[in-house]
A = this chain, B = another copy of it.
Amino acid sequence: MMLSWLYPLEKVLHSLGMEVTNKFIVIKTQIDGKPQESDFEFKTEPFSLTVKPGSNDIIIKNLYMSIDPYQINRMKTMSSSQKASEFAVGISPGKVIDAYGVGKVIASGNPKFEKDDYVVGLISWGEYSISQGFILNKLDPMGFPLTYHVGLLGLSGLTAYSGFFEICKPKKGEKVFVSAASGSVGNLVGQYAKHFGCYVVGCAGSPNKVKLLKEKLGFDEVFNYKEETDLNSTLQRYFPNGIDIYFDNVGGEMLEAAISNMNMNGRVALCGIIAEYTNAGKRAAPDLLNVIYKRITIQGFLSGDYMSLFPEFLTTTIDHLRTGKIHVLEDVSVGLEGVPSAFVGLFRGDNVGKRIVQVSLD
């Protein structure tokens, strides 16, 4: 009796547009090597656009999705390192994949959010998200494009800002090396470092990226690491007086070469190791004698630890933006269908700046 009564009601809700079909992306199995598009599939499920009475849920239409290399670590077979961080909760086959992004509230049972609010934080790789408010904030676009809040004014920006200023503790005039310098974080580190008064050399993986970083972003020097055969002597050439700060996004051989070229009291901010994410055999084995004799500090960090810096970061960055000091490097593609290819491409380095997928128009 009940069921027969409920069924028509659902149909009615759906006809009123209160229920839709939500398309979302899942992994088929855990991914332990380089990701392929075929590792992903699309699923659809009925999705209610109304909030259950008494629930705290926030129903979100996803607009812009951040595509980040670190997600691959959550897709692997679980290891202790992944369990150690709330940012590295594993992604299971067949399940919704949460990710940073910007959306718009459709309905909310949570008093902090209202219909039509923009939100930024953990949404999901799909058309719609349902959130309990965990790592989710109301967003005031402040007149900037929404995409800025996915990258520059979001976690990528905070990662660059907190990593450079808190972990690297720069002094004016110090010599800074940034790897993956055209990536979402690297390009900002370079720009912050330049405006702070450091000498900045970056490396990237194509002539176009090199040109862009030098000519538009103001890096002092940039080299294409794919054209170099001996990274140690490359760095000697670009840093005849040594490296004071290395902002590392790649790990592997580049980290080894950087440590061999560091100065006394050098600092390495370990932000990412994309060279090692999909190839555990490529692990960096730096010369630790250098680390001891040069009193080098190597420090891993995640931007989530520096949320208290967010207001300062935002003020500084918006100020740079308004005075035209920061060049925004974005790589936006359109359509949820393109997410797997956008993600997989990160590991070929085919992005220039912050990779974002526009899932839906505002």
- Docked-complex contact B85 and A294, CB < 8 angstroms: yes
Number of copies: 2
**Option from B79, B82, B286, B295 in Cβ contact (under 8 Å) with A302:** B295
User: B-facing mask of A260-280, CB < 8 A → 1, else 0?
Assistant: 100110000011110011001
- When distances are taken between beta carbons in the complex, the residues of chain B under 8 Å from A79 are 289
- Docked-complex contact B299 and A297, CB < 8 angstroms: yes
Q: Does A88 contact B (CB under 8 A)?
A: yes
What CA separation (Å) do A294 and B57 show in the bound complex? 31
- When distances are taken between beta carbons in the complex, the residues of chain B under 8 Å from A299 are 291, 295-298
Q: Does A290 contact B (CB under 8 A)?
A: yes
User: B-facing mask of A77-111, CB < 8 A → 1, else 0?
Assistant: 00111101101100000000000000000000000
- Docked-complex contact B292 and A283, CB < 8 angstroms: no
What CA separation (Å) do A308 and B300 show in the bound complex? 29
Q: Does A45 contact B (CB under 8 A)?
A: no
- Docked-complex contact A301 and B305, CB < 8 angstroms: no
Q: A287-B283, A288-B276, A289-B81 are in contact. Are A305 and B297 (CB under 8 A)?
A: no
- When distances are taken between beta carbons in the complex, the residues of chain B under 8 Å from A87 are 293
Identity of the chain B residue whose Cβ is nearest the Cβ of A264 in the assembled complex: B84
Q: A84-B293, A302-B295 are in contact. Are A283 and B276 (CB under 8 A)?
A: no
A209 nearest CB across to chain B (Å): 24
User: B-facing mask of A165-202, CB < 8 A → 1, else 0?
Assistant: 00000000000000000000000000000000000000
- When distances are taken between beta carbons in the complex, the residues of chain B under 8 Å from A295 are 299-302, 305
Q: A284-B285, A285-B283 are in contact. Are A300 and B291 (CB under 8 A)?
A: yes
Question: What secondary structure prevails in chain A residues at the interface with B?
Answer: mixed
Q: Does A73 contact B (CB under 8 A)?
A: yes
- When distances are taken between beta carbons in the complex, the residues of chain B under 8 Å from A80 are 260, 290
- Docked-complex contact B293 and A284, CB < 8 angstroms: no
Identity of the chain B residue whose Cβ is nearest the Cβ of A82 in the assembled complex: B293
- Docked-complex contact B292 and A273, CB < 8 angstroms: yes
Q: Does A251 contact B (CB under 8 A)?
A: yes
Q: Which residues of A contact B (CB under 8 A)?
A: 73, 79-82, 84-85, 87-88, 251, 255, 260, 263-264, 270-273, 276-277, 280, 283-302, 305
A-B pairs with beta carbons under 8 Å apart, 21 shown: A73-B289, A80-B260, A80-B290, A81-B260, A81-B287, A81-B290, A84-B263, A84-B264, A84-B293, A251-B288, A270-B288, A270-B292, A273-B288, A280-B287, A283-B285, A283-B287, A290-B300, A291-B300, A296-B300, A297-B300, A298-B298
